[in-house]
Chains A and B, each alone.
Chain A
Amino acid sequence: MAAVEHAFTLGKARFGSGKPVLIGSLFYNPIER
């Protein structure tokens, strides 16, 4: 297994904590949602 972290913090968001990080997109919206 490569040397990657199982849980990590990126900025203020914690990935792998048990609750999902919601990721929203900006500047590309092919459909009016």
Chain B
Amino acid sequence: MKDHAKGEIDSRVLSRELRQVAALKERVGLEHAIDVIAETPVAMEKYLEVLTDATEDPLFIGGMNEETRVAGCKKAKELGIAQRCGINSVSCATTQYELDRIAEAGIRSAIVQTLDPSAVLPGEKLEMLRGGLLGRCSGAGLKKVAVDVGIVDFTSAWLAAEAIRMISAELALPAGCAPSNAAYQPLASRRMTRKAARSINVAMNTIMQLAGAGFIMYGPLKASTYVFEAAAIVSGITDYGAKVSGTRVPDRDSPLFKYLPKLNQ
């Protein structure tokens, strides 16, 4: 990044990171989306303009304030990419004004954030969703919803994993979280090396995968170089288990068929 407020990008670095992700997707058989985090409306508009042609990945409009997300919705409609855009995120704090702008833009997908002081335990998150949050999404035309169970520190990872299990079982919605938010805190406070933080990020991703996570927010794109293959190994193993136990038929592009065999050649 050259300027966060103006949205000035180092396009060479961006191109390199997008190429790395595209190659990793093809190599391991996992799918990918981008969370576009902008600080200002101007920056969001510039990012979406650049990414429209630079990647085929779905884009989540993750502005840091309402004004920025609303600008992203309008820009997505203008660029004709609303069908592959989602909002990150919709929560109990989302205003009706923002929901109306999302609907106007023709955006039909959102990550629903359940991180809230009133809903710490998995059952409380479930009640929050059933008690009105999903209804608000539905009312705004958001039919494609994934649930972010939230994670704030290491011990809350256990609650996050339990919430993923519960929401997947009770609501049959894709659920996940951002373990990287917790994994990198000790690095930010200089209590851990970067290598240790990265290995912990992978370990926490694995916990969520074993809980059945439908998505994992793994951190900045550059982290794809160490996250992708570890996640693919875990996915290949769990798909093998699903196949053997007969609980689910893995798709043709599963890392079980696309990636694991490459490691035995």
Contacts and interface: CB of A to CB of B under 8 A. Distances in A.
Interface size class on chain B is: 35 or more
A25 B220 contact: yes
Interface in B198-227: 198, 208-209, 213-224, 227
Contact of A23 (B29, B56, B60, B130): B60
A30 B208 CA distance: 23
Nearest to B130: A1
Interface in B128-153: 130, 134-135, 137-138, 142-146
A2 B141 CA distance: 11
**Is chain B's binding surface mostly helix, strand, loop or mixed?**
mixed
Interface of A: 1-8, 10-33
Given A3-B143, A15-B144, A19-B255, A10 B33 contact: yes
A10 B144 contact: yes
Contacts of B187: 31, 33
29 contacts: A1-B130, A2-B135, A4-B143, A5-B143, A8-B143, A10-B58, A10-B144, A11-B83, A13-B32, A15-B214, A18-B238, A18-B242, A19-B250, A20-B231, A20-B235, A22-B30, A22-B31, A22-B32, A22-B224, A23-B32, A23-B34, A23-B216, A23-B217, A26-B37, A26-B221, A27-B4, A29-B220, A31-B188, A32-B194
B45 interface: no
B211 to A, nearest CB: 10
